[in-house]
């Protein structure tokens, strides 16, 4: 038995350490968060705690879209369930459309013509008591707080009836809107109850334009009314297809739902023809269970293609992949086929988790700048120029199914836990479609402008506190390269195992960054804090360089602080080459120099760091000519 003599001073030191880095995680865990992990909702090994809880709601909504005036009129019953141990004295609604309201602060300026009156609340009753929406609560930017006369007790529910309307702005679209004649994508459209969680209580984050989702997992039954010959595709399953589509379109749709080949459901020859039954407004019934949001596309004179994709080969479970686009939207005639490949890749490749939804519908908004927006079972996409960009866009948006939807990520604080993953999950499949396309370089273009500058901020700074380009650079760029380095470090197999474990543990829940760090530590059975700190917590950058050291050895230097793989090509005078590949573990013990074992019998001509896969700040020190 080893007997250690512990001096009083080192004991005191240890106590300090244990207080700051509780459970000796090696990473900073704020005291507010430590309390949670010492409680029963989360665990220090990254699993949800035995007492983990989450609130949820059932939304029964009716909405009418007037395609002439752009007026959206809605009414709904919301049943909100309180599974928290707290009595809730207030209920917080998000009225997203207030971002367009005059006088509201925003993350960026809007076209003046788009400024309007935001969400008009027409009716409110809580637990059967009629309230005046103007006096029952108060508006703060896009949030609406209503004080409850009777607190909502634990294990109890609240019945809300609400009526509202807003006008879709003509000039400007923010993740939703009227994009062109016959092309509406309607999101952020209903009064939504904010998240109440074990970290902050109510999420009071305002929707100012930049940060996106943080939603509970809810159920929706929605009746959408739109004029004749508008097609509605929405989150959830369409329950009355037979009643709303013409016989011919319905039979093609039915066929597509089981087809392994792409079915052209609405074709060029159908444009300007009837595609809906009857000659007046149609009401479409959609139902979705266990989703964090509900959106819909409302289109006229659009083409519609659909095909099935295998989500689980063992059970034979297939999902429906479909696209809505206008004749002439570049590459979208391949969109359904692309979506099929994507869903099958995500289900079996990375993350290798069965696609969780019954369909994925992609709406093309025609914007040539590209870009897109995800929502559960729906994506809203531009029309980029190249085939590979279209594929990459669809892949990115569909990959969001896992983050932030299947995993209820709070991207208002941790944007890297959704954009970073969507960017990362794109990299392998997109290079299979086009081997000349460098996803790494493409992402580097996004990250490069902040690299080595003050505005390259650590990922652990809450996203809502970072504005503008630095946020984009961090949550897409820095996060992407961090995950790439992590995959290199663990190797593909262990990395996938850890990622799948993280997903299995937290699907349908609200994981924090610590749940991610601790799960990876747990599955890898190692303390990865030496890696988490520089990539997620610290200011710094990535830079490798090549030097001949004092002893005459050739060394790869870690000049920046972010650990990355070493990928070096040594060219000898006789024309032969030696390739050195080491994963980021070479920097684990704080070493900043890695000595290359070269062939002593041969004369070296040059040494080159292959910097294609790393966000290297200074390319000038990546090449050494010894000739
Ligand atoms: Zn994204």
Tell me how far the alpha carbon of residue 303 lies from the centroid of ligand 1, in angstroms. 25
User: How far is it, in rounded angstroms, from Cα 65 to Cα 328?
Assistant: 26
Say how many C-beta atoms besides its own lie within 10 A of residue 2's C-beta: 3
Tell me how far the alpha carbon of residue 419 lies from the centroid of ligand 1, in angstroms. 5
Tell me how far the alpha carbon of residue 418 lies from the centroid of ligand 1, in angstroms. 7
Query: Which residues have CB under 8 Å from 193's CB, separation 6+?
Result: 57, 78, 80, 91, 92, 93, 94, 160, 216
Tell me how far the alpha carbon of residue 475 lies from the centroid of ligand 1, in angstroms. 10
Task: Yes or no: say if 545 and 556 are a contact pair by the CB < 8 Å rule.
Answer: yes
User: Cα torsion at 558, 560, 564, 568 (round to 10°)?
Assistant: -50
For the chain, the domains span 8-52+436-537, 55-211, 544-625
Chain Cα centroid distance, residue 270: 36
User: How far is it, in rounded angstroms, from Cα 246 to Cα 39?
Assistant: 57
Tell me how far the alpha carbon of residue 389 lies from the centroid of ligand 1, in angstroms. 14
- Confidence at residue 172, expressed as pLDDT on a 0 to 100 scale: 86
Tell me how far the alpha carbon of residue 410 lies from the centroid of ligand 1, in angstroms. 14
Task: Yes or no: say if 235 and 279 are a contact pair by the CB < 8 Å rule.
Answer: no
Task: Yes or no: say if 562 and 534 are a contact pair by the CB < 8 Å rule.
Answer: yes
Both tokens of residue 367?
């914007």
User: How far is it, in rounded angstroms, from Cα 61 to Cα 408?
Assistant: 22
Tell me how far the alpha carbon of residue 265 lies from the centroid of ligand 1, in angstroms. 28
Tell me how far the alpha carbon of residue 423 lies from the centroid of ligand 1, in angstroms. 7
User: How far is it, in rounded angstroms, from Cα 478 to Cα 490?
Assistant: 18
- Confidence at residue 10, expressed as pLDDT on a 0 to 100 scale: 44
Tell me how far the alpha carbon of residue 474 lies from the centroid of ligand 1, in angstroms. 13
For the stretch 492-550, pLDDT in tens is 999 999 999 999 999 999 999 999 999 999 999 999 999 999 999 999 999 999 998 88
Tell me how far the alpha carbon of residue 447 lies from the centroid of ligand 1, in angstroms. 15
Tell me how far the alpha carbon of residue 422 lies from the centroid of ligand 1, in angstroms. 6
End-to-end CA distance of the chain: 58
Tell me how far the alpha carbon of residue 78 lies from the centroid of ligand 1, in angstroms. 29
User: How far is it, in rounded angstroms, from Cα 609 to Cα 568?
Assistant: 4
Q: Which residues of the chain, if any, have pLDDT below 50?
A: 1-19
Tell me how far the alpha carbon of residue 483 lies from the centroid of ligand 1, in angstroms. 15
Tell me how far the alpha carbon of residue 38 lies from the centroid of ligand 1, in angstroms. 33
Task: Yes or no: say if 494 and 524 are a contact pair by the CB < 8 Å rule.
Answer: yes
Reduce the DSSP state of residue 45 to 3 states and report it.
coil
Query: Which residues have CB under 8 Å from 555's CB, separation 6+?
Result: 546, 547, 548, 549, 593, 594, 595, 596
Sign of the CA dihedral with 450 first, then 455, 461, and 463 last: negative
Tell me how far the alpha carbon of residue 233 lies from the centroid of ligand 1, in angstroms. 21
Tell me how far the alpha carbon of residue 284 lies from the centroid of ligand 1, in angstroms. 29
Question: Tokens 């960026």 label which residue?
Answer: 108
H or E segment to which residue 556 belongs: strand 554-558
* Burial of residue 315, with CB atoms counted within 10 A of its CB: 0-12 exposed, 13-18 middle, 19 or more buried: exposed
Percent of the chain with pLDDT over 90: 90
Task: Yes or no: say if 443 and 614 are a contact pair by the CB < 8 Å rule.
Answer: no
Tell me how far the alpha carbon of residue 381 lies from the centroid of ligand 1, in angstroms. 11
Reduce the DSSP state of residue 11 to 3 states and report it.
helix
User: How far is it, in rounded angstroms, from Cα 228 to Cα 67?
Assistant: 11
- Confidence at residue 168, expressed as pLDDT on a 0 to 100 scale: 94
Tell me how far the alpha carbon of residue 409 lies from the centroid of ligand 1, in angstroms. 13
User: How far is it, in rounded angstroms, from Cα 178 to Cα 170?
Assistant: 7
- Confidence at residue 370, expressed as pLDDT on a 0 to 100 scale: 84
Tell me how far the alpha carbon of residue 414 lies from the centroid of ligand 1, in angstroms. 13
Question: Tokens 């996004």 label which residue?
Answer: 446
Task: Yes or no: say if 478 and 472 are a contact pair by the CB < 8 Å rule.
Answer: no
Say how many C-beta atoms besides its own lie within 10 A of residue 552's C-beta: 6
Tell me how far the alpha carbon of residue 398 lies from the centroid of ligand 1, in angstroms. 9
User: How far is it, in rounded angstroms, from Cα 398 to Cα 342?
Assistant: 8
Residue 42 DSSP symbol: B
H or E segment to which residue 544 belongs: strand 544-548
Tell me how far the alpha carbon of residue 114 lies from the centroid of ligand 1, in angstroms. 25
Tell me how far the alpha carbon of residue 479 lies from the centroid of ligand 1, in angstroms. 12
Considering only CA atoms, give the Rg of the chain.
27
Question: Tokens 């990395």 label which residue?
Answer: 495
Angle at alpha carbon of residue 120, lines to 114 and 123, rounded to 5°: 165
Tell me how far the alpha carbon of residue 106 lies from the centroid of ligand 1, in angstroms. 20
Tell me how far the alpha carbon of residue 172 lies from the centroid of ligand 1, in angstroms. 20
Tell me how far the alpha carbon of residue 400 lies from the centroid of ligand 1, in angstroms. 7
Both tokens of residue 95?
């009225």
Residue 466 phi, psi dihedral angles, 5° rounding: -110, 135
- Confidence at residue 2, expressed as pLDDT on a 0 to 100 scale: 41
For the stretch 68-103, pLDDT in tens is 999 999 999 999 999 999 999 999 999 999 999 999
Cα–Cα distances (Å) from 543 to 536, 566, 593, 618, in that order, read 16, 11, 12, 6
Reduce the DSSP state of residue 428 to 3 states and report it.
helix
Tell me how far the alpha carbon of residue 269 lies from the centroid of ligand 1, in angstroms. 35
Tell me how far the alpha carbon of residue 375 lies from the centroid of ligand 1, in angstroms. 10
Task: Yes or no: say if 21 and 29 are a contact pair by the CB < 8 Å rule.
Answer: yes
Nearest alpha-carbon partner for 332 in 365, 292, 286 = 365
Nearest alpha-carbon partner for 516 in 541, 495, 542, 540 = 495
User: Cα torsion at 20, 25, 26, 27 (round to 10°)?
Assistant: -70
Beta-carbon neighbours within 5 Å of ion ligand 1 = 419, 422
As beta bridge partners, residue 556 has: 546, 594
Task: Yes or no: say if 334 and 387 are a contact pair by the CB < 8 Å rule.
Answer: yes
Tell me how far the alpha carbon of residue 26 lies from the centroid of ligand 1, in angstroms. 30
Tell me how far the alpha carbon of residue 374 lies from the centroid of ligand 1, in angstroms. 7
Both tokens of residue 508?
């349908």
Tell me how far the alpha carbon of residue 103 lies from the centroid of ligand 1, in angstroms. 29
- Confidence at residue 21, expressed as pLDDT on a 0 to 100 scale: 53
Residue 260 DSSP symbol: S
Reduce the DSSP state of residue 208 to 3 states and report it.
coil
Task: Yes or no: say if 116 and 167 are a contact pair by the CB < 8 Å rule.
Answer: yes
Tell me how far the alpha carbon of residue 313 lies from the centroid of ligand 1, in angstroms. 28
């Amino acid at each position: 038995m080893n007997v250690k003599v512990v001096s009083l001073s080192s004991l005191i030191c240890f106590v300090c350490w244990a207080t700051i880095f509780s459970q000796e995680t090696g990473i900073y865990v704020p005291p507010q968060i430590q309390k949670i992990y010492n409680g029963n909702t989360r665990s220090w090994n990254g699993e949800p705690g035995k007492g983990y809880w989450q609130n949820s709601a059932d939304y029964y909504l009716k909405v009418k879209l007037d395609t002439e005036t752009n007026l959206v009129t809605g009414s709904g019953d919301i049943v909100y369930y309180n599974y928290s141990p707290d009595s809730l004295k207030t209920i917080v609604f998000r009225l997203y459309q207030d971002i367009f309201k005059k006088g509201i602060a925003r993350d960026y300026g809007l076209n003046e013509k788009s400024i309007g009156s935001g969400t008009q609340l027409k009716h409110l009753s809580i637990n059967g008591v009629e309230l005046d929406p103007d006096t029952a609560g108060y508006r703060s930017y896009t949030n609406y707080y209503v004080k409850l006369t009777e607190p909502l007790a634990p294990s109890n529910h609240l019945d809300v009836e609400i009526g509202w309307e807003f006008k879709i702005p003509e000039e400007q679209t923010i993740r939703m809107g009227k994009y062109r004649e016959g092309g509406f994508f309607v999101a952020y459209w209903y009064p939504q109850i904010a998240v109440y969680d074990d970290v902050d209580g109510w999420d009071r984050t305002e929707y100012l334009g930049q940060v996106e989702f943080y939603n509970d997992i809810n159920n929706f039954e929605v009746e959408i009314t739109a004029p004749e010959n508008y097609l509605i595709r929405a989150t959830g399953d369409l329950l009355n297809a037979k009643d709303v589509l013409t016989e011919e379109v319905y039979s093609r749709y039915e066929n597509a739902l089981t087809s392994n080949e792409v079915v052209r459901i609405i074709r060029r020859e159908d444009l300007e023809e009837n595609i809906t039954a009857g000659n007046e407004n149609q009401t479409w019934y959609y139902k979705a269970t266990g989703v964090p949001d509900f959106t819909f596309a409302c289109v006229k004179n659009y083409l519609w293609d659909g095909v099935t994709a295998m989500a689980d080969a063992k059970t034979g479970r297939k999902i429906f992949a479909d696209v809505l686009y206008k004749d002439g939207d570049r590459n979208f005639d391949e969109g359904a086929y692309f979506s099929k490949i994507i869903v099958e890749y995500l289900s079996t490749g990375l993350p290798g988790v069965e696609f969780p939804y019954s369909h994925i519908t992609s709406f093309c908004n025609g914007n040539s700048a590209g870009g897109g927006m995800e929502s559960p079972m729906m994506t809203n996409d531009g029309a980029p120029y190249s085939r590979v960009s279209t594929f990459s866009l669809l892949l990115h948006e569909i990959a969001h199914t896992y983050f932030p939807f299947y995993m209820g990520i709070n991207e208002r604080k941790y944007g890297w836990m959704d954009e970073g993953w969507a960017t990362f999950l794109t990299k392998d499949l997109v290079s299979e479609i086009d081997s000349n396309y460098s996803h790494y370089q493409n992402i580097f273009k996004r990250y490069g402008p902040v690299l080595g500058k003050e505005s390259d901020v650590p990922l652990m700074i809450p996203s809502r506190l970072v504005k503008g380009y630095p946020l984009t650079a961090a949550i897409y760029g820095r996060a992407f390269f961090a995950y790439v380095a992590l995959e290199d470090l663990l190797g593909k197999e262990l990395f996938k195992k850890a990622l799948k474990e993280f997903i299995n543990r937290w699907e349908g829940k609200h994981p924090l960054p610590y749940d991610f760090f601790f799960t990876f530590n747990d599955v890898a059975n190692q303390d990865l804090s030496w890696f988490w700190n520089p990539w997620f917590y610290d200011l710094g950058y990535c830079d490798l360089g090549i030097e001949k050291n004092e002893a005459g050895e050739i060394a790869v230097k870690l000049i920046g602080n972010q650990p990355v793989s070493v990928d070096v090509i040594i060219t000898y005078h006789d024309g032969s080459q030696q390739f050195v590949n080491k994963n980021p573990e070479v920097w684990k013990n704080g070493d900043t120099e890695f000595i290359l074992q070269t062939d002593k019998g041969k004369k070296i001509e040059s040494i080159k760091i292959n910097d294609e896969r790393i966000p290297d700040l200074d390319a000038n020190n990546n090449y050494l000519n010894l000739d």
